[in-house]
Structure 1
Amino acid sequence: MPSLVSPIFSSIPNPSKVTRRDHSSFNFTVSMVHMPKRSVDLFDLHHELVPYAEAWSWQNAVVEEKKLLNKEGKDLTDTLIILQHNPVYTLGAGSKEEYLNFDVQNTSFEVHRTERGGEVTYHGPGQLVMYPILNLRYYEMDAHWYLRKLEEVVIRALSSTFSIEASRVEGLTGVWVGNQKLAAMGIKVSKWIAYHGLALNVTTDMKPFEQIVPCGIRDRQVGSIKALLQENFSSQVNRQEHNHDNDYSELIDATHKSLIEKFCEVFQVDIRNKHIQSGVSQGKTVDLTC
């Protein structure tokens, strides 16, 4: 079970007034002219390495708060958390341990079984993790619809920022470039509150994936944005031969910015930046429209 919420994540965002319902299914260009946009509170920790148990507890605390607010008709904002994790393996609720190529009792990385769907995956530095906590009553009450939307966010971000043409694979969840899976997804929906989310490999070390069967898929590979760019556009990625760390930091920043933009675009929401300082979520927000 996850640990108690860390003091740095102890404050639950306050709701703001706005409602919306998107009746589109797979049409991502439906006009929303007559519908007010729903607001999403963004907790942007994309440069931080956050222990998985703390982020997991944080999500659960937000979900429980949203359930209470929803009963009172006061669930008026959603939440988006973006971060990186310390190295960790996570398993879905029904994940099979046969997909682990190591002894769970003798491993250097943490291992957590969670309530999300899907099989085992790896999280670590260089991977951007997005945890949207959305009340699907205001979007579409369909988990499959929601997963396709998350995939669309990544597909658009890769195309617009890096000219990487990614796609879906029929029968599988996630975002792919050829035979390589760049983004994994696993969600949990409880009383139509969706949480957990997606993980996109940007500059991720691929070696830890060798210790598992990622997402239970044996005949496909795992890839990263960095590796694809090095393969196809090496002169652009390594333009400063003696400053690779800086290049890769810029790659994280560019990916992070694009993911937020495309999240706003696909889900038709407005972002409100929230800041965590001195262990407290600040009351003041900066309203941004995407």
Structure 2
Amino acid sequence: MLQHPPVYTLGTGSSEEFLKFNWKDSLHDVIRTERGGEVTYHGPGQLVMYPIINLRNHNKDLHWYLRALEEVVIRALFSTFSIEASRLKGFTGVWVGNQKLSAIGIRVSQWIAYHGLALNVSVDLTPFQQIVPCGIRDREVGSIKQLLGEVQASHHESNVDQLGTDDSVLIDMAQKSLVQEFSEVFQLKLEQVSWPASYL
């Protein structure tokens, strides 16, 4: 799990028609990856989770796997931030109303699944305006911080930090919650391993 420097990524079959700029003149790197799905943006404040899963040990069904990844995010949003998210019929990802908070793009080879999901925690949403995120023209992109700020505004509070929603705190909370919910959804016992410095 990590945060990328600012970058646009396109899936194997992505169309450049969903870029609103000439990719040769982009302010950020534009990378074609092995995952499925259309163009999206990654940057600081967005958690990207790259699980490597042998689906033979779970369920050899790609739709099941995508729904399971969505379930991880839906549970994490509710258990940690009291955000009620859901799936949107016909689309992959996790939504709150009209806003997409999590994008999912995977690759599977011989039932080994890799790539994964991205959750917008406190990421700057401006770069999403330069693309058609995931190829969906009539939907918006949102973030946890933005939604918490809207809740706070409805309670007439003046500072997002009063809810303890400092960016680094939000990232830490989201990361711990994603790991916990991932272990429960996939019924895995996770162990943290420290790598020798020579491996880094």
TM-score by length of 1: 0.65
2:174 to 255, 275, 278: 255
Structure 1's unaligned 5+ residue stretches are 1-81, 282-290
Q: By how many angstroms is 1:106 displaced?
A: 1.0
2:187 to 246, 268, 273: 268
RMSD of the TM alignment (CA)? 1.6
Bigger share in strand: 1
Q: By how many angstroms is 1:276 displaced?
A: 4.1
| Residue 130 in structure 1 maps to residue 49 in structure 2 | yes
Q: By how many angstroms is 1:91 displaced?
A: 0.4
What is the match of residue 142 of structure 1? 61
Q: Name the aligned partner's letter for residue 123 of structure 2.
A: T
2:23 to 85, 89, 104: 104
Deviations 1:30-76 (A, max 9, x none): xxxxxxxxxxxxxxxxxxxxxxxxxxxxxxxxxxxxxxxxxxxxxxx
Deviations 1:120-150 (A, max 9, x none): 0000000000000001000000111000000
How many pairs does the alignment contain? 196
Report 1:32-47 matches (<5 A).
none
SS of the residue corresponding to residue 150 of structure 1 reads helix
Deviations 1:150-209 (A, max 9, x none): 000000000111110000000000000000000000000001000000000000000110
Distance 2:175 2:53 in 1: 19
Greater Cα radius of gyration, structure 1 or 2:
1
1:237 to 160, 163, 167: 160
Distance 1:107 1:275 in 2: 38
Report 1:1-290 matches (<5 A).
82-234=1-153, 235=157, 237-239=160-162, 247-276=166-195, 278-280=197-199
User: Cα–Cα, structure 1 residues 156 and 211, in superposed 2: closer, same or farther, change >3 Å?
Assistant: same
SS of the residue corresponding to residue 21 of structure 2 reads coil
Q: By how many angstroms is 1:237 displaced?
A: 3.4
Distance 1:180 1:142 in 2: 27
SS of the residue corresponding to residue 270 of structure 1 reads coil
Q: Name the aligned partner's letter for residue 160 of structure 2.
A: V
TM-score by length of 2: 0.94
Distance 1:112 1:249 in 2: 27
| Moved >3 Å (runs of 4+) | 234-237
Q: Give the share of equivalent positions with the same residue, in percent.
A: 64
Structure 2's unaligned 5+ residue stretches are none
Distance 1:155 1:247 in 2: 21
Distance 2:113 2:87 in 1: 21
Distance 2:119 2:196 in 1: 26
